[in-house]
Structure 1
């Protein structure tokens, strides 16, 4: 019986599925596959059912979002590890076993993040681990830089759920992905939560994947994605920071949101970004804040140091 389940949410990704699924054949680690189809209208579900009967297919009647879909997959299995994978990701040979090897190095590791390379420009990195900043948004480390870089394993703030391995039993401790996020930043949120509980994430450079990017939403910058990400950028600090930490970081967060607004204003999406921020502020009553516990004080101090360090690196490197 495999101790790994690969979980692939899908929404209208039929054109990507064959290459994505074929890359699973290059893995030398046993696994089972669960695909959650979010009411695709492009024939994805029937294509999977007809051509890949060995995969477990869960069909949703509506598009319930990435977070719900991954949670459905996690709830449907009891394997020791779960691998969350976007439908527009192609795995390089032995990617899975390299992630397993990284995660096994320390029982305190919650997640292992792959080295994501741009599918359409395989000389450039897409993401070599996510770093959350005091400004309230995430830096995709290495984005656009040479694939020759980031060759060493290192601790990171968050593993990108587009191609990340998680230790299943830790979900039982910290909870699953927050379904209020729908999509975007849900992986940062759960990694943040894991850090509050004292767990860590690691970047695994030998686990290589190729990522098309924005396959579901259609483009890097679009109204839906910008609005949703802006809303979720409000949720993350509100949910995970206790009130004293939130007060300390407040001006930095406001400054960070202003920088993002000016960026999107220049690109013609200023109103979409503001709409997302307003939606986040107006719906905070839906978000359950993580309960502050005194015994986790050192974890909060460590997280604050990481936020400051990541911000400085983002500015000067």
Structure 2
């Protein structure tokens, strides 16, 4: 059996650890459990030491965010498989077994996502990853079970094991050898879409990303940064442009970037019309940050980029014009 480490990144999340850590310990006998702490100022570390002495703790010197927080912590963890798990995840019995079996039987599979359901409404998929992620021709991410704000009920329609384009960072399994080959997450992202960037880079190198419905977890979502937070808007808009700059095929790079920046402007106008001025400024700030990072980001591009990265030409067109509210393969 492959050596697996379940690594929970934590920052001031003692209440989430109190709520969810026990289920991870109970249902993960195959794994070593770690809490990677991003310099919390609450009682997170002392709580884990007092109540869960078998859990190993890796302490970062500062709050490095999701991307660099994992990069730093994983330097000190020895395992063949990293299971990167948000602190607001509830796991279920035997959740690891289907994942381990897939890694053992499919050597080209590098990354796996379980079925991600909503902790607050367990019959429905969860926004962050649902039944596996894809992107369209213009780099907009969406999931089987979630397109923009439309979230499907889990009726077994995605009870399959299949290739996807990206796996959710909420519960993200990756071979440590591949993680190290790709040099981990891009720390520039801090948080949001760094897992899509990592999957895209793995895809460009010929690795497979899979979804396995037999492994089921429940995600609270937004427990550390709420959906309506302008910082979330800033990170999502900026990081999307950074991700496209790194991974799009060269022949379509500038055309797509210009189109996306125009669409970002339209989104900003919509925020103004709704009185959400802080989100408009967040988009503006995201663009200026992107301009300052463009040159250094462009230098990170791999030598080759696959042209077969998207599932549909435009999910925006499908969703808003022809009302395609659910995933179509």
Using the size of structure 1 for normalisation, the TM-score is 0.89
The CA deviation at 1:46 is 1.3
**Partner Cα separation in structure 2 for residue 78 and residue 167 of structure 1:** 11
The worse-fitting range, judged by mean Cα deviation, of 147-156 and 3-12 is 147-156
- The answer to whether the 8 Å contact 2:30/2:96 transfers is no
Stretches of structure 2 lacking an aligned partner (at least 5 in a row): none
Does the C-alpha gap of structure 1 residues 48 and 113 become closer, same or farther in structure 2, counting only changes over 3 Å? same
The CA deviation at 1:32 is 1.0
User: Which residue in 2 is equivalent to 1:8?
Assistant: 8
- The answer to whether the 8 Å contact 1:114/1:207 transfers is yes
Q: Secondary structure at the match of 2:87?
A: coil
**Partner Cα separation in structure 2 for residue 191 and residue 226 of structure 1:** 22
Count of residues in Structure 1 that have an aligned counterpart in Structure 2: 311
Q: Secondary structure at the match of 1:79?
A: coil
Q: Which has the higher helix share?
A: 1
Partner deviation per Cα, 1:38-87 (whole Å, 9 max, x = no partner): 12222112111222221221223321111112112322123111100000
The CA deviation at 1:256 is 4.2
Residue 113 of structure 1 pairs with residue 113 of structure 2:
yes
User: Which residue in 1 is equivalent to 2:286?
Assistant: 276
2:248 to 233, 241, 262: 241
User: Which residue in 2 is equivalent to 1:52?
Assistant: 52
Residue 301 of structure 1 pairs with residue 307 of structure 2:
yes
Partner deviation per Cα, 1:104-143 (whole Å, 9 max, x = no partner): 3421111111111111111110022121223333213313
The worse-fitting range, judged by mean Cα deviation, of 50-59 and 158-167 is 50-59
Does the C-alpha gap of structure 1 residues 96 and 288 become closer, same or farther in structure 2, counting only changes over 3 Å? farther
The CA deviation at 1:200 is 1.6
The worse-fitting range, judged by mean Cα deviation, of 54-63 and 2-11 is 54-63
User: Which residue in 2 is equivalent to 1:195?
Assistant: 203
Partner deviation per Cα, 1:250-295 (whole Å, 9 max, x = no partner): 44433543454355443712222222222122222443644443xx
**Partner Cα separation in structure 2 for residue 260 and residue 101 of structure 1:** 43
**Partner Cα separation in structure 1 for residue 115 and residue 268 of structure 2:** 29
- The answer to whether the 8 Å contact 2:264/2:283 transfers is no
**Partner Cα separation in structure 2 for residue 107 and residue 145 of structure 1:** 32
- The answer to whether the 8 Å contact 1:109/1:202 transfers is yes
1:257 to 264, 267, 288: 264
- The answer to whether the 8 Å contact 2:112/2:173 transfers is yes
1:131 to 130, 134, 143: 134
**Partner Cα separation in structure 1 for residue 20 and residue 215 of structure 2:** 15
The worse-fitting range, judged by mean Cα deviation, of 184-193 and 257-266 is 257-266
Matches within 5 A, 1:196-235: 196-217=204-225, 219-235=226-242
Using the size of structure 2 for normalisation, the TM-score is 0.86
Stretches of structure 1 lacking an aligned partner (at least 5 in a row): none
The worse-fitting range, judged by mean Cα deviation, of 179-188 and 16-25 is 16-25
Does the C-alpha gap of structure 1 residues 263 and 185 become closer, same or farther in structure 2, counting only changes over 3 Å? farther
- The answer to whether the 8 Å contact 2:241/2:257 transfers is no
Does the C-alpha gap of structure 1 residues 292 and 189 become closer, same or farther in structure 2, counting only changes over 3 Å? closer
- The answer to whether the 8 Å contact 1:100/1:165 transfers is no
User: Which residue in 1 is equivalent to 2:92?
Assistant: 92
Does the C-alpha gap of structure 1 residues 77 and 134 become closer, same or farther in structure 2, counting only changes over 3 Å? same
